[in-house]
Amino acid sequence: MKVLIVDDEKNIRELMGTYLKLDAIESEGAENGLSAQRLLRENHYDACLVDLKMPGMDGLSLIKWIRNEGFRMPVIMISAHGEIHDAVAALTSGAQDYIVKPFDPEELSIRLVKLIESQNLQNLVESDQRTQTGTGKLIGESRPIQKIKKIINKIAETPATVLITGESGTGKEVAARQIHAVSLLCEGPFVAINIGGVPENLIESELFGYEKGAFTGAESRKIGMFELASGGTLFLDEIGDMSLSLQVKLLRVLQEKKITHLGGTTTIPINARIITATNKSLETMIREGSFREDLFYRLNVVRIEIPTLRDRKEDIPLLAGSIIARLNRQMGSSNRIEGVTPEGIQYLKEYSFPGNIRELENVLERAAIFAEQSMLSEDDFELRGIVLHEQNVLPGKPTDLDQNNTEPKTLKKIEEEAMIQALHRWEGNRTKAAGELGISRRTLINKIAEYGLNI
């Protein structure tokens, strides 16, 4: 915690700073309101202690300015005069509390901590309302995941900016949440926004906030996500989808650690760790001119590459257990699943999972909904593609389905021919043909009926 003490008496500032330090609260002093304005523009503070009577700009004027400029930190007004109208004026101007000199230092510290914690709680509530929810724990014991966990523990106590890369569905946000959970900022909010999921004309106002009247429809001031993440972590997902014009503004924020509301003029210091993620190659985008190289170097301080599920198949049993536990909590006791049979786990391991963990979640959820037994088996799983066995189809290689035909085939035609060949190879045995194709026997039977195959 860091507090700004605004008082024209140096000995009072120093004395209050000494008392606060005993409770591990850092402080900085300003001798008048004008000096305080300069410091507030340059630094982040968790709260302000403001004297009522000061030359140049008094305490009430400073508090009004703090609120008008959009600073959110709690303010305590301090006065040598215990008059009711002073307290009312302070609270009306935007102070959260009022204390009279001489005061009990311990009482001041207690009030201050309560106000800061209350503001942090409000930030957490707002961030939960405006951001995605999710877990923050990486599941798995494979070598790639163990390596990532070591990196996360190494950077936990640093404010380093992190870039997370990997295919869609691999768990990039989960990794970001785990970084936050083990960091020194874990008590602060975790604010996440998907850059590609917000219209370009709205993303700037979401990130930086805006003032009343900044544009049509801006009927009141709105706090941006950089401010909302103060004291915590801001996660910018799909950073590769950010426009070049917004990249320039993000670069400036990372350099200066300050933002300005749309329609505003005051710079507001920010105090949040920045984690970004992308499923694109930013190096390729730099060569193509669609991503700024200087921004890339600012983001790529620590890089974490999340492996695909097909590269960590030994983690499937642990992932399946975690997903099933969550599904049981969601579905209640009426459709409780105990786990997956060994044969079912092996069946899942043989599938390529192009959609990664997200696809595994979908497969297990569907199986849990329609399962008739408490243990899920291979017959309960409906996989959406053909298993990429070595002896079967490999990406990018021609198959016997297309070597004699250069005409492009529809996905439906390829699927039909694959089923016909598999059934012929296994002399009509549905179970073995389904195993080769990577689908359940039930799905194969449904497909045979759908295509009207007489095999």
Residues 150-168, mean pLDDT to the nearest whole number: 92
Distance CA 436, CA 78 (A): 77
Say whether both 340 and 400 belong to one domain.
yes
- What domain range includes position 238? 143-307
Say whether both 49 and 102 belong to one domain.
yes
Say whether both 317 and 295 belong to one domain.
no
Measured CA to CA in angstroms, residue 292 lies from 251, 286, 301 at distances of 9, 6, 15
Q: At 216, which CATH number? A: 3.40.50.300
85 located within any domain: yes
pLDDT over threshold 80, residue 86: no
Q: Which two tokens stand for residue 233?
A: 């972590």
**Nearest CA among 341, 248, 331 for reference residue 295:** 248
Contact 75, 48 (CB under 8 A): yes
95 located within any domain: yes
- Last residue in a domain, options 255, 272, 307: 307
- The highest-confidence range among 6-10, 184-188, 277-281, by mean pLDDT, is 277-281
- Last residue in a domain, options 307, 325, 348: 307
Residues 259-273, mean pLDDT to the nearest whole number: 87
Say whether both 302 and 324 belong to one domain.
no
Question: Residue 376 — very low, low, confident or very high, per pLDDT cuts 50/70/90?
Answer: very high
Distance CA 438, CA 350 (A): 8
Say whether both 157 and 288 belong to one domain.
yes
Domain count of the chain?
3
Chain-centre distance of CA 257, in angstroms?
Answer: 19
Q: At 109, which CATH number? A: 3.40.50.2300
Question: Which amino acid does the sequence have at 401?
Answer: L
- E-only strand ranges, 334-427: 339-340, 375-376
Say whether both 105 and 172 belong to one domain.
no
- Last residue in a domain, options 272, 307, 342: 307
Say whether both 76 and 169 belong to one domain.
no
Say whether both 256 and 190 belong to one domain.
yes
Measured CA to CA in angstroms, residue 420 lies from 43, 94, 135, 384, 452 at distances of 70, 75, 43, 17, 11
pLDDT over threshold 80, residue 99: yes
Contact 2, 27 (CB under 8 A): yes
Q: At 337, which CATH number? A: 1.10.8.60
- pLDDT: is 133 or 63 the higher one? 63
Say whether both 301 and 315 belong to one domain.
no
47 located within any domain: yes
Say whether both 342 and 421 belong to one domain.
yes
The predicted model scores a pTM of: 0.67
Q: Count of CB atoms within 10 A of residue 303's CB?
A: 11
pLDDT over threshold 90, residue 316: yes
Question: Residue 156 — very low, low, confident or very high, per pLDDT cuts 50/70/90?
Answer: confident
126 located within any domain: no
Residues sharing a CB contact under 8 Å with residue 106, sequence separation 6 or more, in sequence order: none
* pLDDT per residue as tens digits for the range 324-362: 988 888 877 666 889 999 999 999 998 889 889 999 999
Say whether both 364 and 429 belong to one domain.
yes
Say whether both 323 and 303 belong to one domain.
no
